[in-house]
């Protein structure tokens, strides 16, 4: 097993100085970002389509993918790739139908959308919701998982884990303080390092598997051996468990419940994340429609590649572990010697040759820092523009708001460090990827219902929106926590199954679908009591959704590739 050598440190340091140097160059070149809020928070008009696409992916792919999805690849297999491949379709929907609505109505933040379409009350409720979610779930989990992964890779101790937490936060602050323009352009470097380093790791993982089975250095043969020795890891659709189904397969179904995932749950997750999320849409809101669409669709192409980078190493770790290898690595940091699936990626990194370890560490760090920076900037944007400017100091100057935005960034990261210092939220026990998806899912149904009806049904009222977001949250809690106890494990609405702790649980994709359906129903009924056309409804016309030939070609190619993948791995 390879260890860090001088060349690895040199490669990592070179990466650090390239990103920091380029970020400083962009900052000096566009000094207006110091005092201009639109430039600081949105990089208005300055990001190219490839910078938007790269920034979307760099912000999206982080420790929860590298570590969490790789861990899911270890325990579940290729079915978890649905998050990435359905995301590519969701990005098409966002590019074609969502972004035109935002840009035509000059929407810069998601709370602003809610105020413009509904009222101040809805906007304030959701501003608070999003701030709590971004700080306590997203930012904190990214920081925790990233520090765990890097600490495992360098063979560190609990003390070094804390140093890594601080170092990642400082690096993220350095990039974030330059504003969205610096984040957007440095993300191009980050995503390049991420893809090159990630593909190198996957290639080495496959060759290690190939050698383990006596076939030499062949990545293709390594993949064939994964399929041969872990056939249950190469099915996209899981069958519904029966009384004789092994517990680990039941746990897999609870995470990705077969075709039911595709009825509502996985679509709600992706459309809410990519289309109704300040953290993501912020990259495109400062561009014109053509540039924004091309950037979003470019991100969709890159999403097709992500399972190769973040999921295959997890399946490789499973096969190697079953063969008696990486035993210590898979139980690292466990209290009772049990396997921790989130150790899969760092276990594979140990096989990299000198030099590639440094590159892979750079790729992992790039993903973590880019996501931290993007998330911190979104927290700053929502707090400054939708809370501070509206409710605390209405006469704030542009320069004052940028200062407040920077202070907010630092404060958010300090809170995250305190929460991750001793894993106060229990992210390690939940599993990083599941932790984020599950707790984001508590508000996703209500938020998505509010956005989709607000965009495309002119009758939707502000009262329906307020009721909808609260109802969506309460129904999510009901189905996720209480329904199996109150109504039993089997009803005409759902089937609950015993998880590994022996507690009945409804698959959270199903919970999201049910919460979304009933929230939509309640919002529609309430809105029917209002005027046929709400005075605040958006004006839509067919020309907004007209597509150019180049855009259509990108969409068709993406859909063909996804279709082939599902045909192959159904």
Q: How far apart are CA 259 and CA 542, in angstroms?
A: 33
Q: Give pLDDT, residue 489.
A: 93
Q: Please indicate whether residue 550 or residue 186 has the higher confidence score (pLDDT).
A: 550
Average pLDDT over all residues of the chain:
84
Whether residue 234 contacts residue 566, with contact meaning beta carbons closer than 8 Å, is answered with no
> Residue 10: its pLDDT value, please?
87
Predicted TM-score (pTM) of the model is 0.84
360 close to 201: Cβ distance less than 8 angstroms: yes
Tell me the mean pLDDT in the region 268-295: 84
Does 29 have pLDDT greater than 70? no
Q: What domains does the chain contain, in order, with CATH numbers? A: 6-234+280-424 (1.20.1730.10)
What percentage of the chain exceeds 90 in pLDDT?
28
Residue 44 in this model has a pLDDT that exceeds 60: no
Distance CA 196, CA 37 (A): 34
Q: Which of the residue ranges 28-37, 192-201, 357-366, 462-471 would you say has the lowest mean pLDDT?
A: 28-37
Tell me what percent of the residues of the chain surpass a pLDDT of 70.
Answer: 89
Q: Which pLDDT does position 11 carry in this prediction?
A: 84
Cα three-residue angle 73-75-78, rounded to 5 degrees: 35
Higher pLDDT, 185 or 233: 233
The answer to whether the CB of 221 falls within 8 A of the CB of 210 is yes
The pLDDT assigned to 182 comes to 65
CB neighbours of 225 closer than 8 A, spacing ≥ 6? 209, 210, 212, 213, 215, 319
The whole-number pLDDT of residue 33 equals 44
- Residues 214-272 have pLDDT tens digits of 888 889 999 999 999 999 899 888 889 988 889 888 988 988 888 888 887 889 989 98
């Amino acid at each position: 097993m390879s260890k860090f050598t001088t060349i690895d440190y040199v490669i990592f340091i070179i990466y650090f100085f390239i990103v920091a140097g380029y970020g400083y160059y962009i900052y000096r070149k566009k000094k207006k970002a110091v005092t201009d809020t639109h430039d600081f928070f949105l990089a208005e008009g300055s990001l190219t389509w490839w910078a938007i696409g790269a920034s979307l992916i760099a912000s999206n792919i982080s420790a929860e993918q590298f570590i969490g999805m790789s861990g899911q690849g270890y325990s579940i297999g290729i079915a978890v790739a649905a998050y990435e491949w359905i995301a590519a379709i969701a990005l098409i929907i966002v590019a074609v139908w969502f972004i035109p609505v935002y840009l035509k109505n000059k929407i810069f933040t998601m709370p602003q959308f809610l105020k413009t379409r509904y009222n101040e009350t809805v906007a304030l409720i959701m501003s608070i919701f999003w701030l709590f979610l971004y700080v306590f779930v997203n930012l904190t989990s990214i920081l925790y998982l990233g520090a765990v992964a890097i600490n495992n890779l360098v063979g560190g101790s609990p003390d070094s884990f804390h140093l890594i937490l601080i170092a990642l936060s400082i690096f993220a602050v350095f990039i974030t303080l330059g504003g969205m323009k610096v984040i957007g352009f440095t993300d191009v470097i980050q995503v390049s390092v991420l893809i090159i380093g990630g593909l190198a790791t996957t290639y080495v993982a496959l060759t290690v598997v190939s050698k383990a089975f006596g076939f030499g250095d062949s990545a293709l043969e390594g993949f064939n051996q994964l399929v041969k020795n872990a056939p249950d890891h190469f099915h996209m659709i899981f069958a519904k468990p029966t009384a004789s189904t092994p517990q680990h397969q039941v746990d897999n179904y609870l995470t990705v419940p077969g075709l039911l995932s595709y009825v509502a749950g996985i679509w709600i997750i992706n459309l809410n994340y990519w289309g109704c999320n300040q953290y993501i849409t912020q990259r495109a809101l400062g561009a014109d429609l053509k540039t924004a669409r091309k950037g979003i669709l470019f991100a969709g192409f890159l999403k097709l590649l992500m399972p190769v980078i973040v999921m295959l190493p997890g399946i490789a770790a499973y096969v190697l572990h079953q063969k008696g290898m990486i035993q210590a690595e898979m139980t690292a940091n466990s209290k009772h010697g049990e396997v921790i699936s989130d150790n899969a990626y760092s276990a594979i990194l140990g096989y990299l040759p000198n030099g590639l370890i440094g590159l892979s560490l750079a790729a992992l760090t790039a993903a973590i820092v880019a996501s931290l920076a993007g998330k911190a900037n979104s927290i700053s944007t929502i707090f400054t523009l939708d809370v501070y400017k509206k409710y605390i100091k209405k006469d704030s100057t542009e320069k004052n708001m940028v200062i407040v935005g920077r202070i907010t960034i630092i404060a958010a990261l300090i809170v995250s460090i305190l929460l991750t210092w001793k894993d106060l939220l229990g992210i390690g026990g939940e599993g990083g990827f599941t932790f984020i998806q599950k707790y984001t899912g508590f508000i996703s149904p209500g938020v998505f219902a509010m956005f989709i009806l607000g965009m495309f049904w002119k009758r939707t009222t502000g009262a329906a929106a307020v009721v909808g977001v609260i109802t969506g949250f309460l129904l999510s809690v009901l189905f996720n926590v209480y329904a199996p106890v109150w109504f039993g494990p089997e009803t005409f609405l759902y089937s609950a199954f015993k998880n590994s702790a022996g507690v009945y649980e409804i698959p959270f994709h199903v919970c999201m679908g049910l919460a979304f359906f009933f929230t939509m129903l309640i919002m529609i009924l309430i809105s029917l009591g209002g005027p046929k056309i709400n005075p605040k409804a958006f004006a839509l016309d067919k020309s907004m959704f007209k597509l150019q030939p180049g855009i259509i070609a990108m969409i068709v190619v993406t859909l063909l590739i996804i279709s082939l993948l599902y045909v192959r791995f159904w």
